[in-house]
Amino acid sequence: EVQLVESGGGLVQPGRSMKLSCAASGFTFNNYDMAWVCQAPKKGLEWVATISYDGSSTYYRDSVKGRFTISRDNAKSTLYLQMDSLRSEDTATYYCARAWEGFDYWGQGVMVTVSS
């Protein structure tokens, strides 16, 4: 059974950093691109970033370029999202997703609140 379990969310002050993790199991992690998708309170879904199966390519939405870094450790079957210079508008639930034909598996999500 495919499982994606996010961790690392919580409350953080504006300008500070936070790192999210997503532990994957039930599939061959290094065969798939992986992604982060978010949903701000009372808003729709937004794609954040994607990383290729081998980590060689990364893609970001404009609003997070230069502030967020997606990475992966295939030996640990874990996906990461390093979020720096956080802003109040980054407040959202962040989902880890397997990127096949869109997103075919999703984690339960982790809440990130950016507030002083």
Q: Which spans of this chain sit near other proteins (rule: CB under 8 A)? A: 35, 37, 44-47, 50, 59-62, 95, 99, 101-109
Half-sphere exposure of 111 toward its Cβ, with a 13 Å CA cutoff?
A: 5
Question: Minimum Å distance from CB 116 to other proteins?
Answer: 27
Place of tokens 């990383």: 51
Give CA–CA dist 61/67, Å, rounded. 11
Cβ contact 105:2 at 8 Å:
yes
User: At closest approach, how far in Å is the CB of 17 from other proteins?
Assistant: 23
Contacts of residue 101, Cβ cutoff 8 Å, sequence gap at least 6: none
Q: Which is nearer to other proteins, 17 or 31 (CB)?
A: 31
Give the separation between CA 26 and CA 108, rounded to whole angstroms.
16
* Nearer residue to other proteins within complex by CB, 62 or 75: 62
- In angstroms, give the least distance from the CB of 98 to other proteins: 10
Kindly tell me which of 17 and 45 has the beta carbon lying closer to other proteins.
Answer: 45
Shortest reach from residue 8's CB to other proteins, in Å: 17
Nearer to other proteins, 38 or 86 (CB): 38
